[in-house]
Amino acid sequence: MPNVVIEYQLDGKRPGYAFSPPSPAVDERTLKTIWRQAMPRGQGWGNPAYAGAQSVKTFRVDRGHYAVSTATVTDQHDESGRGGIRRAEIEVMSTASYLQFLQEQIGRYPAALQQAADRRLTHTFWQQVLDKLTPKLRPHRQIVLAYPYSDPDGWALMEVLVMKVATSRRIRLIKGWGAANSFTTLALDYREESSIVALPLARAQQLGDGAVVVIR
């Protein structure tokens, strides 16, 4: 399917986020799903610390397709002068292509960064994940990770780590999880987010959720 873009448009009588071009060649049901899911959750993207930040978010469109959304915090301001405006480029693909895409994406990261992520995916890490997923602690099945945010380059470690978690053989051993899993590499709130979501540590601490797995 063709790529879909969501961006903030100041032209016209009602400024706001819209598809660009206005009528992409995608069916209405898929467009509605993309509209609901493409942007990472949370308030506060206008914080200067997130200038240029990128979030890769994936979600299931239907039984046989996944979408990959790459959202970037732009330098654009809305009609009131507020920053934190994001632009998302979304690609819809078959589930099989999605799994291949993730492996290819991981391979594009520098070897040193992949190794740094692997060093953090220890037995202790996976034990923490299993502990956090127990029903008595968290009623919904979601892995929430947290790591100190410094800048977009520094967050690349979490991007590759989240993708490695999403594609790990270990995750398939967890009841209710499979080979294809949704994730968000950067969000400011875990609620109504992907199955695997990474938050800046400071934001995770503000939310006060004890089910977060902190990456050191």
Residue written as token pair 């540590």 = 201
Q: In this predicted model, what pLDDT tens digit does every residue of 157-211 receive, in sequence order?
A: 999 999 999 999 999 888 888 889 999 999 999 999 999 999 999 999 988 766 8
Cα gap 40→155, rounded to integer Å = 15
Percent of the chain whose pLDDT exceeds 90: 75
The answer to whether the Cα torsion of 42, 150, 165, 68 is positive or negative is: positive
Cα gap 149→48, rounded to integer Å = 12
Q: In this predicted model, what pLDDT tens digit does every residue of 49-61 receive, in sequence order?
A: 999 999 999 999 9
Q: In this predicted model, what pLDDT tens digit does every residue of 76-103 receive, in sequence order?
A: 998 888 899 999 999 999 999 999 999 9
**Contact yes or no for 144/213 (Cβ under 8 A):** yes
137-146 average pLDDT score? 75
